[in-house]
């Protein structure tokens, strides 16, 4: 089970959060076209290593967080607000 350090509430169990997907994907400009949106909605990497994820703290402050998580060890390296850009550590 993940323990996610929410910047607003402190370290909390994973069940308080809702996973909201891959935070490396950014919504394309409105007129970026079909291919860009297909890519945004459907194409996902499945990295072995560090990953940037959206987590919504529904059982707490209801803030959206960006979480840097290792997909194998589950280590959480950084947690930030949605507008920040935490850097992914090298694999």
The site for another protein (CB under 8 A) is made up of: 1-3, 13, 18, 20, 27, 30, 32-34, 36-38, 40-42, 54, 56, 58, 62-64, 73-74, 76, 82-83
**CB crowding 56-80: b at 16 or more within 10 Å, else e:** bbeeeeeeebbbbbbeeeeebebbe
Shortest Cβ 45–another protein spacing (Å): 18
Phi and psi at residue 37, in whole multiples of 5°?
-75, -35
Give the shortest CB-3-to-another protein separation in angstroms. 4
CA–CA distance, 35 with 73 (Å, rounded to integer): 34
* Choice between 58 and 87, CB closer to another protein: 58
Minimum distance from CB of 19 to another protein (Å)?
11
């Amino acid at each position: 089970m993940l323990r996610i350090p929410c910047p607003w509430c402190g370290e909390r169990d994973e069940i308080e959060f809702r996973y909201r997907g891959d935070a490396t994907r950014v919504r394309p400009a409105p007129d970026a076209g079909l291919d860009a949106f297909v890519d945004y909605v459907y194409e996902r990497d499945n990295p072995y290593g560090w990953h940037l994820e959206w987590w919504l703290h529904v059982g707490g402050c209801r803030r959206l967080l960006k979480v840097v998580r290792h997909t194998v060890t589950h280590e959480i390296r950084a947690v930030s607000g949605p507008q920040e850009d935490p850097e992914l550590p090298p694999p």
